[in-house]
A and B are shown apart, each in its own frame.
Chain A
Amino acid sequence: MAWTGKILRVNLTSGSVKQEALNMDWAQTYLGQRGLATKYLVEEIDPKCDPLGPDNKLIMATGPLTGTMASTGGRYSVICKSPLTGCVACSNSGGFIGAELKNAGWDMIIFEGKSKKPVYLYVENDKAELLPADKIWGTSVWATDEWLHKKHQDPALRIAAVGRSAENGCLYSAVINDLHRAAGRSGVGTVMASKNLKAVAVRGTAGVGNIKDPKRFMQATTEAKQVLAENAVTGQGLPTYGTQVLMNVINEIGALPTRNMREVQFEGAHKISAEAMAEPRKSDGKANLTTNAGCFGCTIACGRISTIDRTHFTIENKPQYWGNSGGLEYEAAWAMGTDTGIDDLDAVTYANFICNEDGMDPITFGATVAAAMELYEAGVIGDKETGGIAFKFGNAQALAKAAEMVATGEGFGKDLALGSKKLCEKYGRPELSMTVKGQEFPAYDPRGIQGMGLAYATSNRGACHLRGYTVASEVLGIPEKTDPLVTDGKAGLVKAFQDATAAFDSSGLCIFTSFAWTLENVAPQLDAACAGGWSPERLAEVGERIWNMEREFNLEAGMKASDDTLPKRLTTEKANTGPAEGKVNGLSAMLPEYYELRGWSKDGKPTDKTRQRLGL
Chain B
Amino acid sequence: MLRSLHITPEKCTGCLQCEMACSFENEGVFNPAKSRIKVFTFHEEGRFVPYTCTQCAEAWCMQACPVEAIVVNAATGSKDVLEDVCVGCKVCTIACPFGTVNYNQATGKVIKCDLCGGDPACATACPTEAITYIDSDMTGYERMRAWASKTDTAASA
Q: Which residues of A pack against B, CB within 8 Å?
A: 67-69, 71, 96, 99, 103, 156, 179, 204-209, 214, 218, 225, 229, 239, 290-299, 301, 303, 305-307, 323-325
Q: Mind listing 13 A-B residue pairs with CB under 8 Å?
A: A68-B20, A71-B127, A207-B23, A207-B29, A218-B24, A290-B45, A291-B46, A294-B14, A294-B15, A296-B16, A297-B16, A303-B13, A324-B46
Pair A323/B32 contact, Cβ less than 8 Å: no
Pair B15/A301 contact, Cβ less than 8 Å: yes
Chain A nearest CB from B131 CB (Å) reads 13
Pair A301/B43 contact, Cβ less than 8 Å: no
Pair B48/A293 contact, Cβ less than 8 Å: yes
Provided the pairs A299-B17, A301-B15 are in contact, do residues A208 and B31 lie with their beta carbons within 8 angstroms?
yes
From 1 to 30 in chain B, residues with beta carbon under 8 angstroms from any chain A beta carbon are 13-17, 20-21, 23-24, 27-30
Q: Does B85 contact A (CB under 8 A)?
A: no
Q: Does B36 contact A (CB under 8 A)?
A: no
- CA A588 – CA B96 in complex, angstroms? 70
Pair A229/B127 contact, Cβ less than 8 Å: yes
**B43 CB contact (under 8 Å) in A71, A179, A292:** A179
Pair B31/A205 contact, Cβ less than 8 Å: yes
From 127 to 149 in chain B, residues with beta carbon under 8 angstroms from any chain A beta carbon are 127-128
Q: Note all chain B residues with C-beta closer than 8 A to A295.
A: 15
Pair B13/A292 contact, Cβ less than 8 Å: yes
Q: Does B33 contact A (CB under 8 A)?
A: yes
Pair A206/B31 contact, Cβ less than 8 Å: yes
- CA A99 – CA B29 in complex, angstroms? 13
Pair A324/B34 contact, Cβ less than 8 Å: no
Pair A67/B15 contact, Cβ less than 8 Å: no
Provided the pairs A205-B33, A225-B127 are in contact, do residues A324 and B43 lie with their beta carbons within 8 angstroms?
yes
Pair A324/B44 contact, Cβ less than 8 Å: yes
Chain B nearest CB from A71 CB (Å) reads 8
Q: Note all chain A residues with C-beta closer than 8 A to B125.
A: 69
- Among residues of A, the one whose C-beta sits closest to the C-beta of B105 is A205
Pair A103/B14 contact, Cβ less than 8 Å: no
Pair B17/A207 contact, Cβ less than 8 Å: no
Q: Note all chain A residues with C-beta closer than 8 A to B21.
A: 69
Q: Note all chain A residues with C-beta closer than 8 A to B128.
A: 301
The tally of CB-CB contacts under 8 A between chains A and B is: 87
- CA A307 – CA B45 in complex, angstroms? 9
Pair A207/B127 contact, Cβ less than 8 Å: no
Q: Note all chain B residues with C-beta closer than 8 A to A99.
A: 32
- Among residues of B, the one whose C-beta sits closest to the C-beta of A322 is B44
**A293 CB contact (under 8 Å) in B14, B44, B127:** B14
Q: Note all chain B residues with C-beta closer than 8 A to A206.
A: 31
Q: Note all chain A residues with C-beta closer than 8 A to B33.
A: 103, 156, 204-205, 207
- CA A324 – CA B24 in complex, angstroms? 32
Most chain B CB within 10 A, of A69, A295, A307, is at A69
Pair A69/B15 contact, Cβ less than 8 Å: no
Q: Fill in one digit per residue for B95-128: 1 if any A CB lies within 8 Å of its CB, else 0.
A: 0000000000000000000000000000001011
- CA A156 – CA B30 in complex, angstroms? 16
- CA A179 – CA B42 in complex, angstroms? 13
- CA A204 – CA B32 in complex, angstroms? 9
- CA A78 – CA B125 in complex, angstroms? 30
Pair A299/B15 contact, Cβ less than 8 Å: yes
**B30 CB contact (under 8 Å) in A209, A229, A325:** A209
- CA A209 – CA B21 in complex, angstroms? 12
Pair A69/B30 contact, Cβ less than 8 Å: yes
Pair A324/B30 contact, Cβ less than 8 Å: no
Most chain B CB within 10 A, of A96, A99, A179, A207, is at A207
- Among residues of A, the one whose C-beta sits closest to the C-beta of B126 is A299
Pair A293/B31 contact, Cβ less than 8 Å: no
- Among residues of B, the one whose C-beta sits closest to the C-beta of A225 is B127
- Among residues of A, the one whose C-beta sits closest to the C-beta of B33 is A205
Given contacts A68-B20, A209-B28, 12 further A-B contacts (CB under 8 A): A67-B30, A69-B20, A69-B30, A71-B127, A103-B32, A205-B34, A225-B127, A294-B13, A295-B15, A301-B127, A323-B43, A323-B45
Q: Note all chain B residues with C-beta closer than 8 A to A293.
A: 13-14, 46, 48
Chain B nearest CB from A481 CB (Å) reads 28
Q: Note all chain A residues with C-beta closer than 8 A to B34.
A: 205, 207
- CA A75 – CA B63 in complex, angstroms? 44
Q: Note all chain A residues with C-beta closer than 8 A to B30.
A: 67-69, 103, 207-209
In the A-B complex, list the 4 residue pairs whose CB atoms are closest, starting with the nearest.
Answer: A207-B31, A294-B15, A323-B44, A209-B29
Q: Note all chain B residues with C-beta closer than 8 A to A207.
A: 23, 27, 29-31, 33-34
Pair A299/B127 contact, Cβ less than 8 Å: yes
Chain A nearest CB from B41 CB (Å) reads 9
**B15 CB contact (under 8 Å) in A229, A291, A297, A305:** A297
- CA A313 – CA B79 in complex, angstroms? 55
Chain A nearest CB from B8 CB (Å) reads 13
- CA A208 – CA B27 in complex, angstroms? 11
Pair A208/B17 contact, Cβ less than 8 Å: no
Pair A307/B17 contact, Cβ less than 8 Å: no
